[in-house]
């Protein structure tokens, strides 16, 4: 997965704007879980569509 830095903005849609597929998302989730030491439940991520929403989700778990 390679994403240009200028595309990563709070309003960027994970799938549509950044082109992430389900395998990319799994990779990101594993990295976040290992880095921050908490588990991400799939049902909690159902409404996370943007970079900003994902950031807010992570921040709420810290």
Query: Active site residue: 21, 24, 27, 47, which one?
Result: 21
CA distance 37 to 48: 20
- Annotated active-site residue 21? The verdict is yes
Active site residues: 21
């Amino acid at each position: 997965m390679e994403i240009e830095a200028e595309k990563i903005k709070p309003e960027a849609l994970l799938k549509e704007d950044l082109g992430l597929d389900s395998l990319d998302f799994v990779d990101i989730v594993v990295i976040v879980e290992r880095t921050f030491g908490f588990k991400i439940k799939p049902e909690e991520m159902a409404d996370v569509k943007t970079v900003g929403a994902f950031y807010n989700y992570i921040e709420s778990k810290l």
